Amino acid sequence: MIQMIWAMDENWLIGKDNLLPWHYPKDLAYFKKMTKNSSVIMGDLTYQSLKSYYKTKPLPFKKVYVANILDASYDDAIHIKDIFKFIKETNEDIMVIGGKTIYQLMLPYADKLYITYVLKKHEGNVYFPSFDLSQFKCIDKSFEENLIFATYERIKS
């Protein structure tokens, strides 16, 4: 199963200079809860961003894959040069955690989406790629101050 998780504001903003443009402790706790002990895939910039937060601590995931078309090596992650081949061949449940390009590439394969809607506008320069949410059905929704946590499943045709 391919799952994706992200937070975005009402303009679909997801980042500012490779960092989160906001700080909502409940969103961070939700992200940690949903990704802990998961096998995750992310792009190189997202990996570098997370490493800036977890300077001396290991990333809190079961297994870390970093998609990068350039030759690269990571001390605590597995380099994936061909993300499509990887997704086609893996038997693992994978959680996609960013960034924009990886989300865009993986949206057609996603079975489940965990979207945090940030109910305030923020400043930034990276936006989630547009897609047709009508291909998914909302199966859970909860509200916190300035946040909506929504879970969607792909509608099987």
Domain holding 50: CATH number? 3.40.430.10
pLDDT band per the 50, 70, 90 thresholds, residue 54: confident
In a domain, 65, yes or no: yes
- Global pTM value: 0.94
In a domain, 101, yes or no: yes
Give the SS3 label for residue 109. helix
Overall number of domains in the chain: 1
In a domain, 155, yes or no: no
Nearest to 16 by CA among 44, 45, 40, 41: 45
Q: How far apart are CA 141 and CA 88, in angstroms?
A: 30
Q: How far apart are CA 101 and CA 141, in angstroms?
A: 26
In a domain, 153, yes or no: no
Q: Determine the structural domain holding residue 67 and report its residue range.
A: 2-146
In a domain, 125, yes or no: yes
pLDDT at 85 exceeding the cut of 90: yes
pLDDT at 58 exceeding the cut of 90: no
**H helix or E strand, kind and range, residue 88:** helix 83-89
